[in-house]
A and B are shown apart, each in its own frame.
Chain A
Amino acid sequence: MKNGKGWIYPYIQENKKLIMITVFLGLLTVLSATLLMFTSGYLISKSATKPETILMVYVPIVAVRALSIFRAVSRYIERLMGHNVILNILSKMRLRLYKMIEPEVLVMESKFRTGDVLGVLADDIEHLQDIYLKTIFPYIVGFCLYLLSILALGFFSFEMAGWVALHLFVIVVLIPLLSFVATKRKIILYKQGKKALYQVLTDAVLGISDWVFSGRQLQFIEAYEHKERELILTDRKRRSFNRIRNVLSQLVVAGLVLIIIIWAAEQHELGLLPVTFIAAFVLIIFPITEVFLPLSDAVSQLPRYQNSLERLESFGNNRPSEIQALKEFTSTKEIERIAAEKNVKLDFKQVTFTYQSGKMALKDLSFTLNQGEKLVLLGPSGSGKSTILKLLLGIFIPNRGSVSLNGIPASHFAKDSSKVISVLNQNPHLFDTTILNNIRLGNLNATDEEVYWAAKQVKLYDYIQSLPQGFSTQLHESGMRFSGGERQRIALARILLQNNPIVILDEPTIGLDPRTERDLLENMFHVLRGKSILFITHHLAGISPDDRILFLDNGKLIMNGTHRQLLLENERYAKLNA
């Protein structure tokens, strides 16, 4: 687990004390179970010698009862402590992952940005808690118990302690190690195979109609089953190994029983061990080995966490190189002042931007957007529209030329761009909270009345009020009943509360049908009057005759004019008006 250090070791270090307490309680649990058997054995042996009075066995009788209660209590506390530590670690890891993603979320590859990948990372963290509960804690407890047993035995006989140490070494260290080595490759192969099958099956389910129409579905099932059989074979070998290993471990236990009993017999013959202790020594073997036996499984499960660890680490290493460390910032106060004036002039001056990969995204682009104007950025996907968004937000810095707001470079706004610029993209997220809170995200200080006002503006107020719980409806419980158009309206309401001078609409109507699209766009432009609007789109819905159009292709500006003009003058443009 060398490369797992980053996500495991620091947390052990950090929670050393709590982990030690947990382990201590774990030991206490085992010890009281062991002592219970030891005392019981002693108790009946002593009784068998028919002591004069019951008082001779009074102490063991009380001890036995006390220990039985003690063991249950300490086990209970141990489990609670263990989970307490895990939850601490879990919340630390979550925060760390969040902080890793937060600065980069807007520049991540779109593949990464989709909620699913992030969801997988969140699951990975969740998954890692098992490594503590199922492997780390039990192993530490087991190993400490190993040392303690040998130490205790050392009081009676050094030689015997040595022999038992060697013997137990087999089930505490040797067999777990062996089983780790023997099954590691199989577990990894199995996981890889399983991942590949996931892929194949997902492919098949998504492309199900192609399989059906091609008439090749039986062929697919055959091929799939074939791969699955290979996987089963790997698993079968591992399981068979495990079963044999379990029998062998039990043989070691049997051996231990024999060693102890014969040793006790000899000691007794020599008069070194009172006869009443023989049964006691034999009886403790079982509760002690009960702790050692599961260790092999605990250790050989380690490769299962490999994937999660690798994913978390590779995520940390795969940082996009386009973000540069920004040094200069305009103060928040100043930005708030500028935003409050509601008069921001946006300026692109001969901007050229090239990705690190060498791909040119924008070449020599210039335009100005005065307060209250509307500008349409039109062009096919990959024409550089989303790069413009990132330049505007100050996340990217142009290689040549400048992007500025009221003459100040956009990158100086990077930290607080959300105070000046609002963005509505294709997929605004609705959070798992009430509708009221979702809208209020635009401005956390907004009163309920202001939220209602915004909802009225986007024509959702009546609909929301008609829901049984009104604005208090929990979003996810409503069974995702919001359609694409309604989700966009909620996002629009947020933007109204945000009340920034500049609004960027980044293809907000993709996937909506024409009627919904038209209604939504009409509503948007109506309620956003007075704000500067940069409307990024790839078709002509929502464009009015007097709108200014910039048509981009491959990062270059190839048409510039009003809709009306371009329709008349430009053949390529006129063709778009299908």
Chain B
Amino acid sequence: MNKELLHYNGIKPLIVVLLFITALQGVAILLQAKYLAEGVTSLFYLGIESTFVESLGFFTVAFVSRYLLVWLKDKLVYQYAEKTTSIMRKEMLTKLFTLGPRFAKKQGTGELVTLVMEGVSQVRDYLELFLPKVVAVLVLPIIIWIYVWSLDVKSSVVLAASLPILIMFMILLGLVAKAKADRQWKSYRVLSNHYVDSLRGLETLKFLGLSKSHEQSIAGVSKQYKKETMSTLRVAFLSSFALDFFTMLSVAIVAVFLGLALIEGEMLLGPALTILILAPEYFLSVRELGSDFHATLNGQEAAKSMKRILEEPLLIEEKEWELSNWSNEDELQFNHLNVSHHKNEGRILKDISLRIKGKKKIGIVGESGAGKSTLIDVIGGFLQSDCPAIAINGREVHHLKNRAWQRQILYLPQHPYIFFDSLANNIRFYQPNASMVEVKRAADQAGLTELIWDLNDGLEENIGESGRELSGGQAQRVALARAFLEDRPVLLLDEPTAHLDIETEMDIKERMLSLFNNKLVVLATHRLHWMKEMDEIIVLHDGRVVEQGNHQELMKKRGKYYELQQIQGGRTL
């Protein structure tokens, strides 16, 4: 039924144990029915006698053992599911960190977090619900059926015939429902999204003067949604209707056959009653499996998505190499570097050859989509080339994902992330042991003095999500303070100021420039005013390096760089 399931670690021994316990449970069910029937029968023929009391005693023992076995089964499965999903979660986390920010951005943060949090519990539910139930379906009907067969062949034929009919109808009606749902899917999706879409767009509706009249549209769509949902449900519920119908009908048929056999004297009351008690039990496991079917679907989906991520290819494995702190002697080289984000996608960086030697300031410019951020990510060690096109001090590698390199880098993105923690802890993120005096100094250097004054608890106030929210400029200053505190020799900046208002931008720029001294700085931006401060400018166009030089040289050249300057200059006379 589900081969994926068998691939989980340690699941086979568990299934064997479950099969065994379930078989025992099946025996307990038989005994429970047998002794209950015997008790009633002895009462019927003999009145209150020792056999009556005895039977009741055995019944109670069988009944209690049955549920103790269920308890044991649940406990074992729970433990297994918990352990398996814990390992799964840890693997996911490790993998996410290995895959890095680019992957997280592509998949969507919310989606990944939901997958780790919800997906893992869905898989756990799936294992917990599905495993014991599927084993029960495999074992219990057979045990019960064999016993019924030994008591009365006619009843066993009814039961044997009804189960496949029942399952067939369930599947058939399930397919009809699915076909109907598929047909309606398009309009269904629009209808069910309509409400959230309306709320998200409420501001826009308000500006357009449509927000009031939209109430009617919501009411109308709700009505339509209800109509369509109900028409789908009418079909969807048919499959459980079939389940109920055939279960009940075959219990009724068995009862009638038994009655007739009793009248004819072909049978005794005891076995007849046993069969009647067992008949609903015979169907119980199938009914239980059916009722949780949807929950298990979610689990299977989640397991699949996680597996996809766990199988996501990593960067090519390379031996760790050593590198001392970046000095003027060190050299990073790209020789005909080609980079694509994904195996089957086109190349983003094409045939790039560059030499970066020693400590200097390098600007990367180009229009959107030219490959600026991609180049920064290559230098940061998050992307690789197909062949060892990168050389660091002559050592050829596929990528720069290496401890010795990455621990020298500090990265300032356009939207630096502020953790939900105190301002001080945010600043000392890279230096958890930094003293308050050091933190304060870094904060002052980054221009956070005013903000600290503003906050009731100063440096101790919580910021970030669910704390005090910072403006873009303030967040950038926090990142800058981190950089001042953690004095690393290589700085990567990706569009650090484009979203800020000009005055904030200028202030942060000046502070950043003081940080740039005596470092290797690589700054990608479309804000060209930065370029006058750079020792070297790399102009990218469509993934290629089209020009290289300093501001004066490139302006003189009247090429791509000049053109970019014109676009920005055009707006200021």
Contact = CB atoms under 8 A, between A and B. Distances in A.
Q: Which residue, A61, A90, A212, A430, has most C-beta atoms of chain B within 10 A?
A: A212
Contact of A542 (B113, B276, B571): B571
B201 A257 contact: no
B420 A199 contact: yes
Interface in B308-325: none
A254 B63 contact: yes
A360 interface: no
Nearest to B501: A538
B213 to A, nearest CB: 9
A254 B75 CA distance: 22
Interface string B413-452: 1001101100000000110100000000000000000000
B502 A576 contact: yes
B90 A44 contact: no
A432 B502 contact: no
A102 B260 CA distance: 70
A67 B255 CA distance: 12
B429 A205 contact: no
B244 A75 contact: yes
5 contacts: A72-B241, A87-B229, A105-B206, A201-B116, A210-B429
B455 interface: no
B503 A87 contact: no
Interface string B191-203: 0011111111111
Interface stretch (A151-159, A160-168, A264-272, A365-373): A264-272
Contact of A513 (B44, B256, B526): B526
B251 A68 contact: yes
A578 interface: yes
A381 B473 contact: yes
A264 B43 contact: yes
A79 B265 CA distance: 43
A441 B104 contact: no
A147 interface: no
A379 B501 contact: yes
Interface string A266-282: 10110000010011001
A442 interface: yes
Interface in A47-71: 47-48, 50-51, 54, 57, 60-61, 64-65, 67-69, 71
B195 A94 contact: yes
Interface in B98-131: 100-101, 104, 109-110, 112-113, 116-117
Interface residues of A, number: 153
Nearest to A262: B56
Interface string A184-223: 0000000000100111111101111111111111001100
Contacts of B506: 575-576, 578
B417 A283 contact: no
B165 to A, nearest CB: 14
B392 interface: no
Interface in A529-578: 538-543, 545, 564, 567, 575-578
Given A57-B259, A113-B203, A221 B406 contact: no
Q: Is the interface of B mostly helix, strand, loop or mixed?
A: helix
B237 A432 contact: no
A245 B516 CA distance: 66
Contact of B44 (A45, A64, A419): A45
A97 B56 CA distance: 58
Q: Is the interface on chain B under 10, 10 to 19, 20 to 34, or 35 or more residues?
A: 35 or more
Given A79-B233, A264-B43, 13 more contacts: A48-B262, A50-B265, A75-B240, A87-B230, A91-B222, A98-B202, A205-B113, A250-B67, A417-B209, A419-B209, A423-B207, A425-B203, A441-B210
A577 B429 CA distance: 35
Contacts of A198: 113, 117
Given A80-B233, A261-B56, A278-B40, A44 B262 contact: yes
A283 to B, nearest CB: 7
Interface of B: 36, 39-40, 43-44, 47-48, 52, 56, 59-60, 63-64, 67-68, 70-71, 74-75, 78, 82, 86, 89-90, 93-94, 96-97, 100-101, 104, 109-110, 112-113, 116-117, 190, 193-212, 214-215, 218-219, 222-223, 225-226, 229-230, 233-234, 237-238, 240-241, 244-245, 248-249, 251-253, 255-256, 258-263, 265, 268-269, 272-273, 276-277, 280, 367-368, 380, 382, 403, 406-407, 409-411, 413, 416-417, 419-420, 429-430, 432, 464-466, 469, 471-473, 499-506, 526-527, 529, 567-568, 570-573
Nearest to B199: A118
Contact of B43 (A202, A278, A575): A278
A333 interface: no
A476 B93 contact: no
B452 to A, nearest CB: 17
A228 B269 contact: no
Interface string A248-264: 00110110011001101
Classify the interface of chain A: helix, strand, loop or mixed. Answer: helix
Nearest to A506: B207
Contact of A225 (B90, B207, B503): B90
Interface stretch (A33-41, A320-328, A398-406, A448-456): A33-41
A275 to B, nearest CB: 6
A578 B82 CA distance: 59
Contact of A278 (B44, B226, B259, B570): B44
B473 A246 contact: no
B233 A83 contact: yes
Interface stretch (A8-16, A135-143, A236-244, A344-352): A236-244
Lowest 6 A-B CB distances belong to which pairs? A418-B209, A429-B201, A91-B222, A538-B501, A68-B248, A47-B262
A307 interface: no
Interface string A327-371: 000000000000000000000000000000000000000000000
A275 B44 contact: yes
Given A102-B211, A236-B82, A578-B506, A215 B262 contact: no
A288 interface: no
A463 interface: no
A115 B272 CA distance: 64
Contacts of A221: 90, 93-94, 97
B258 A44 contact: yes
Contacts of B416: 210
B241 A57 contact: no
A455 B410 CA distance: 45
Given A44-B272, A122-B195, A99 B48 contact: no
A286 interface: yes
Contacts of B96: 205, 208
Contacts of B465: 199, 202-203
A1 interface: no
Contacts of B410: 213
Given A36-B252, A279-B273, A215 B113 contact: no
A441 B64 CA distance: 67
Interface stretch (A20-28, A174-182, A298-306, A514-522): A514-522
A432 B253 CA distance: 54
Contact of A250 (B63, B273, B499): B63
A540 B386 CA distance: 43
Contacts of B89: 225, 228
B233 A441 contact: no
A244 B90 contact: no
Contacts of A206: 104, 109, 417
A46 interface: yes
A76 interface: yes
Contacts of B207: 418, 422-423, 425
Given A419-B209, A494-B208, A498-B208, A212 B97 contact: yes
Contact of B193 (A79, A118, A476, A515): A476
Given A265-B43, A578-B506, A243 B74 contact: yes
